[in-house]
Amino acid sequence: MQQETDRHVRSFFQNLLELKEPWRVVGVELKEEDRSVEIEVEWPDSYKVPCAECGRACGVYDHAGVRWWRHLDTMNRTTRICCRVPRSNCPEHGVKTLEVPWASARSRFTVEFEKQTIDLLLLARSQSQAARYLELSWHQVHDVQAAAVERGLGRRDLDDIERVGLDEKSFGRGHHYGTVLSDLDNSRVLEVVEHREQASAQKALGALPAAQLAKIKVVALDMWPAFMGAAAVTVPQADLVHDRFHVVKHLNDAVDTVRKQEHAELSSSSQDWLTGRKYLFLKNPDSWKEEEKQCFKELRKKDLKVTKAWGVREAFQSFWLFTSKTAARAFFRRWLKDARAHDLTPVTKVATMLENHLGGLLNYVTHRVTNAVTEGFNSKIQMIKSCARGFRTFENYRIAILFHCGKLELHPL
């Protein structure tokens, strides 16, 4: 009777695992010490073993030592498959260990368990959280993530990319930067390289095969000599488009510098009109609250430098609406003259920088691209950065970003 039951249990698990002959479940045990489930699988000696190299049916040389693979839990019990995998004796390739159908080579987890880990990592707020839930170490989870990214990179399709973006991102503490290359056509991160120098950007662009690089038509990027140099060398045929986000950021920085300087001047003569008003000038006026609108009205009457700088920034918004380069250029000339007329050093500096990069600004009119893709990933990248406890190397950041933002096929097959 007991034997009959055992046979049923084995066959039940064989079906659950979808194991094909001659693989067979020869034992299922509920371990007393930790209430875990161990499923013993065997390849009987009487069956020939295909050589891992050439597939030829060979005799069994021997069985390797016992190995365990973590599998999906059974009724909330940690479950492992254990097996002594047979080794083939190929006349051509010698002794080779057979690949098991339930796991990738070298993995200590089954394919199903890896899939679960990957899905959980995509959902969890942090790697440590996923690790805790699965009762794995941070390193084990990281290994699954790294293998998933490696698989995904090997499988991804890089054809038909014509528009890419180069962007810098800060990582870790202090001034630690990385270069992010994104595919603007398919909204995904293609590569992440440490530092933000010309060599880093060239290395990032090198993620694309030479034939694909030759097809790149547009690179969206900041007015950053290192990135512009990299684009000129790697994709000389491409139009450079200066990124709207960065242009706006430079203008915002100028407004903020003027505000700070003026606030200091006013405060020294006990005029605190600009106290607590930093964000009033940085915010989009469309999102001003009633109180902010009133405040701005009052400040405007005072003929302040910061409201002039603000006006220059606001006036530039129209630039993005032009659909003709000639009209956009004419607008820019008028804007530039006006910007300089206020004689505010931070504003003049940005205006001159924009003038020096007018070609790349005008290219926006034709191509209308921005690095919005990378901006869209900022919250994910922020999450990755905030749980960066285990990121001792930049490579780990790279893997995590490609995992979450690379649109890769991550699952083992």
Q: Which residues bind Zn ion (CB under 5 A)?
A: 51, 53-54, 56, 90, 92-93
Q: How far is the CB of 91 from Zn ion (least distance, A)?
A: 8
Q: How far is the CB of 99 from Zn ion (least distance, A)?
A: 13
Q: Concatenate the DSSP letters of all residues of 373-391 into one string.
A: HHHHTHHHHHHHHHTGGG-
Rank residues 56 and 115 by Cβ distance to Zn ion and give the closer one. Answer: 56
**Is the distance from CB of 86 to CB of 44 less than 8 angstroms?**
no
- Looking at the chain, the number of H-run helices and the number of E-run strands are 17, 13
DSSP state of 66: P
Q: How far is the CB of 54 from Zn ion (least distance, A)?
A: 3
Rank residues 78 and 89 by Cβ distance to Zn ion and give the closer one. Answer: 89
DSSP-derived pairing of the beta strands 49-50 and 24-30: unpaired
Nearest to 191 by CA among 406, 411, 407, 369: 406
Residue nearest to Zn ion (CB): 51
Q: How far is the CB of 100 from Zn ion (least distance, A)?
A: 18
Rank residues 56 and 329 by Cβ distance to Zn ion and give the closer one. Answer: 56
Neighbours of 366 (CB within 10 A): 14
Provide the H-helix boundaries in 73-197: 111-123, 127-134, 138-155
Rank residues 88 and 234 by Cβ distance to Zn ion and give the closer one. Answer: 88
Q: How far is the CB of 86 from Zn ion (least distance, A)?
A: 14
Distance CA 219, CA 228 (A): 9
Rank residues 56 and 84 by Cβ distance to Zn ion and give the closer one. Answer: 56
Distance CA 118, CA 122 (A): 6
**Is the distance from CB of 204 to CB of 164 less than 8 angstroms?**
no
Nearest to 410 by CA among 121, 211, 197, 46: 121
Q: How far is the CB of 21 from Zn ion (least distance, A)?
A: 22
Q: How far is the CB of 106 from Zn ion (least distance, A)?
A: 20
Q: What angle do CA 138, 142, 146 make, to 5 degrees?
A: 175
Rank residues 55 and 359 by Cβ distance to Zn ion and give the closer one. Answer: 55
Rank residues 58 and 221 by Cβ distance to Zn ion and give the closer one. Answer: 58
Q: How far is the CB of 104 from Zn ion (least distance, A)?
A: 20
DSSP-derived pairing of the beta strands 94-97 and 86-90: antiparallel
Neighbours of 216 (CB within 10 A): 20
Q: What angle do CA 100, 105, 108 make, to 5 degrees?
A: 90
Rank residues 34 and 92 by Cβ distance to Zn ion and give the closer one. Answer: 92
Neighbours of 124 (CB within 10 A): 18
